[in-house]
């Protein structure tokens, strides 16, 4: 039986994570890849993720059953004419871009519609690069598929099965639907986060008191402002019409909020917050989408040398993996606590039980 061969052009955060997920769930599949930064490609081979390191426009991509375009949008577009002459019949060509219109139009222009199914895993991080990729980044995340009009049901079915097999949740949309939806739930939040950070920067005093006391809530909703400025510049340039539409509605609501504040409209203010609370609480608790659910607990610790190491040792002895750990100071916890993040809910609950047995005070939020 012939092995499945997967090709990657670009091994950044998303490309690297998909490759690692494929290696995890399909260890016998062959993965070949090209990346413009040679060190990244060497690391992927050393890690056992990539079997064959390719050169630019390598003829061996003709062996692939799937090719993932995971480089910058402009480079992905540059690759399409060459790939048209390279890919074998039956190969599924896909991308992972946050905007679909431009690449679908180029695919149509080149007559690649039978091969192309756009893809966009709704997962990510403010961190970038292969070094931050993981085999579980897209786990339980929605993975949007935008098939070309000429893509057959057999190819759509195969790609859907692949997405499911690596732990993601496939959803099929047209590229037009995708670009409008992501303008609202992905692109607008990044613009809002950047604007919030910039307004505090503008209003802050020379002593930077605002920056100093910015608490958990502000940091949480502006976390994505630490994302790559180049990437988000390109996204805004690629999806301007949809982003402009949702910005118009957002600006209207901001102006309305200012009016309610200026008028001291108690009922209107309450309704604004209540409507948003009810709608936000209706969201699924499943850890999917670009902002994943956290599995965390908060633990009081004694302020002495080795306190954090002791907790880490307890968890390690019980086979509990820690995703992240750090001291948290905010108004909710007056003296500060240790915040521990886990990869899943079972690890969180097990950790709480083990630490409680040893008389640690545990808070769960």
pLDDT for res 128: 84
Residue 106 structure tokens = 């180029």
Residue 144 structure tokens = 């949007």
pLDDT for res 359: 86
**Burial, 138: exposed, middle or buried (Cβ in 10 Å; 0-12, 13-18, 19+)?**
buried
pLDDT for res 328: 66
Q: Contact, 83 vs 93, CB < 8 A?
A: yes
Q: Contact, 173 vs 104, CB < 8 A?
A: no
Burial 208-240 (b: 16+ CB within 10 A, else e): eeeeeeeeeeeeeebebbebeeebbebbbebbe
> What is the reported pTM?
0.74
Which distant-in-sequence residues (6+ apart) come within 8 Å of 169 by Cβ?
Answer: 140, 141, 142, 143, 163, 288
pLDDT for res 216: 67
pLDDT for res 289: 43
CB atoms within 10 A of CB 176: 13
For 199-348, strand residue ranges (E) read 295-299, 322-330, 333-342
Which distant-in-sequence residues (6+ apart) come within 8 Å of 177 by Cβ?
Answer: none
Least Cα distance to 295 among 218, 224, 350, 360 occurs for 350
pLDDT for res 363: 76
117-121/142-147 β-pairing: antiparallel
DSSP element (H, E) containing 30: strand 30-34
Calculate Rg over the CA atoms of the chain.
Answer: 23
- Enumerate the β-bridge partners of residue 295: 342
Burial 191-200 (b: 16+ CB within 10 A, else e): bbbbeebeee
pLDDT for res 284: 65
pLDDT for res 301: 76
Tens-digit pLDDT profile for the chain (365 aa)?
A: 579 999 999 999 999 999 999 999 999 999 999 999 999 999 999 999 999 999 999 999 999 999 999 998 889 999 999 999 999 999 999 999 999 999 999 999 999 999 999 999 998 777 789 999 999 999 889 999 999 999 999 999 999 999 999 999 999 999 999 999 999 999 999 999 999 999 999 999 999 989 888 866 788 788 888 888 988 898 999 999 999 999 999 999 999 999 999 999 999 999 999 999 999 888 765 544 444 567 888 888 776 777 788 888 899 888 998 888 877 654 344 455 788 888 888 899 999 999 989 888 887 66
DSSP output for 276-303: HHHHHHTS--SS-SSSPPPEEEEE---S
């Amino acid at each position: 039986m012939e092995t499945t061969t997967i090709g990657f052009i670009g091994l950044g955060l998303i490309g690297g994570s998909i490759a690692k997920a494929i290696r995890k769930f399909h260890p016998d599949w062959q993965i070949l890849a090209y990346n413009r930064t040679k060190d990244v490609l060497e690391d992927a081979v050393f890690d056992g993720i990539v079997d064959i390191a390719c050169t630019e426009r390598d003829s061996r991509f003709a062996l692939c059953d799937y090719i993932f375009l995971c480089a910058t949008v402009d480079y992905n577009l540059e690759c399409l004419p060459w790939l048209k002459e390279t890919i074998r019949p039956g190969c599924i060509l896909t991308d992972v871009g946050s905007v679909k219109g431009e690449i679908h139009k180029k695919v149509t222009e080149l007559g690649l519609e039978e091969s192309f199914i756009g893809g966009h895993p709704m997962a990510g991080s403010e961190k970038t690069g292969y070094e931050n990729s993981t085999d579980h980044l897209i786990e339980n995340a929605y993975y949007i598929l935008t098939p070309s009009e000429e893509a057959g049901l057999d190819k759509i079915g195969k790609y859907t099965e692949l997405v499911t097999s690596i732990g993601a949740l496939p959803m099929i949309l047209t590229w037009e639907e995708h670009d409008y939806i992501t303008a609202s739930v992905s692109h607008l939040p990044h613009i809002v986060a950047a604007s919030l950070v910039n307004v505090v920067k503008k209003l802050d005093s020379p002593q930077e008191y605002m920056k100093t006391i910015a608490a958990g809530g502000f940091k949480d909703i502006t976390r994505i402002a630490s994302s790559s400025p180049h990437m988000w510049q390109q996204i805004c340039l690629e999806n301007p019409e949809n982003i402009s539409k949702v910005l118009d509605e957002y600006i209207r609501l901001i102006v309305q909020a200012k009016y309610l504040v200026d008028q001291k409209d108690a009922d209107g203010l309450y309704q604004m917050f209540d409507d948003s609370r009810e709608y936000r609480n209706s969201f699924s608790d499943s850890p999917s989408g670009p902002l994943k659910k956290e599995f965390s607990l908060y633990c009081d610790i004694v302020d002495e040398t080795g306190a954090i190491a002791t907790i880490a040792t307890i968890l390690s002895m019980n086979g509990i993996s820690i995703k992240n750990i750090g001291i948290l100071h905010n108004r909710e916890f007056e003296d500060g606590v240790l915040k521990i993040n886990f990869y899943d809910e079972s690890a969180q609950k097990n950790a709480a039980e083990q630490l409680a047995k040893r008389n640690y005070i545990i808070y769960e939020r």
